[in-house]
Structure 1
């Protein structure tokens, strides 16, 4: 049995529930279409810094922010296109803009469809007209994010997209990462390291990218909490980023469609022809 409710706090929040599995998901459309909370049988899956979330001047740290039309940051925040320069801030603008709820249903899952369209402000920093439609489906211990990307411009549109889930974890030494890669790059992308599944969580920050993945799936086990999280994704997503800070109770395991600065370099970059639609999905399942 499925249910959708609404609550008004700092922002209007939609609460999706699967009552049979005692799974509960919160989404805030007006703040970047972000998933802010997910609990299963009372155990929280996601981390959220509530104070940062309440402060509109600060970027959100927590939940599942949406990254579009770039992932990561650009050198000096500059996007070069047809002899012009545009200023695109880290991770793009989708996570900061209000999304519109266009549909909701409780028939075969608790699901809600959100839409984001280009406007006069986005065109100043990203000169393409577009529409995104994301369907969030809660089904048992599974979150399905179905995505539709449409280029509504009259010219070919380059873009990157990603998700930045903050998974709650209060003892990283009890983690077992399963990432389908044998090497990773540092944040700047200029040094490559071998990867055997282990990372040093005593360092102040880990910010690394796996750009050569062998399958469309990653996972981690948290032995302290006796849970495992699988993330599967369609072929649009070619890069995995892992990020965490020392002494913070989260890890971020992020599917990106292309690496940092790809909108300038073209590396693994996705293009849509005029009026073309691309569909993708990501499934996060908890065991």
Structure 2
């Protein structure tokens, strides 16, 4: 049985449920369209820093923030377009702006569609007309995020897109990684290193970009939780970023369509022709063993 309920917390929260499977998803459209909670069989899959979430001045650390129109940060938070300089903060603005619910469905699954349209606020930092249409779909132990990127401008729409899921974990040393790459770039030092499947969790921060991936699927097995998480992503997502901080009960494995600073360098940047659209999907699956 599928259902969608709403609850007025600090923000209006939509609760998608597959009650037969014991799966629940909480979405807060007005706080960046973010998923704040995903629960499967009574177990929390995502981490959420509730104090940061409660403060609208702070970016959310937790859940699954939406990255658009950039992933990562720009040097001095600036990019140049047609000789004019613009300021755009890390990961773009989609994760901070209110989204609007346009559709709900509970027939074959629980599905919630949310929309973000360009406006005066976005055009001041990113001078394009666009529409993003995302649908969150819950069915069994899977969560799918269907995406539509529409260029409503009369010029090409340059963008990168991605997600920043925070997965809850206890003992990081009991994590086993299946990341389809043999090397990563340290985002701090910019050095490239071979990847043997392991991370040094004694480091204060790990921020590694896997720019050369050999398949559109990755997984992490958390032996302490007896949980295997799989991420399947369309080919627009050309890379994965792994990020975690020492002493925090989360790790992030993030599908990105392009690396940091792509608006300036053009590296793997998506260019949508006027009036064109691009559809994409990522699917998360939580298997307990």
TM-score by length of 2: 0.98
Q: What is the alpha-carbon root mean square deviation over aligned residues?
A: 0.7
Residue aligning to 1:94: 94
Moved over 6 A (4+): none
Secondary structure at the counterpart of residue 260 of structure 2: coil
Secondary structure at the aligned position of 1:53 is classed as helix
CA contact (8 A) 2:167 2:252 kept: yes
**Secondary structure, aligned partner of 1:173:** helix
Distance 1:64 1:115, change over 3 A: same
Q: Does 2:211 match 1:211?
A: yes
SS of 2:247's partner is coil
Q: 1:93 to 1:165 in 2, by over 3 A?
A: same
- The residue that corresponds to 1:185 in the other structure is 185
Structure 2 equivalent of residue 110 of structure 1: 110
d(CA) in 2 for partners of 1:39, 1:271: 36
Secondary structure of residue in 2 paired with 1:125: coil
Q: How many pairs were matched up?
A: 287
Cα distance in 1 for residues equivalent to 2:10 and 2:193: 43
Q: Distance in 1 between matches of 2:183 and 2:158?
A: 27
User: 1:82 corresponds to which residue?
Assistant: 82
**Alpha-carbon offset, residue 189 of structure 1:** 6.7
SS at 2:124 equivalent: helix
| 1:25 matched residue in structure 2 | 25
For structure 1, the 5+ residue unaligned runs are none
Q: How does 1:25-104 map to 2 (within 5 A)?
A: 25-104=25-104
User: 1:188 offset after TM fit, Å?
Assistant: 4.3
8 Å Cα contact 2:70/2:161 also seen in 1: yes
What residue in structure 1 maps to residue 154 of structure 2?
A: 154
Cα distance, 1:190 vs. partner? 2.6
Alignment of 1:189-268 (within 5 A): 190-268=190-268
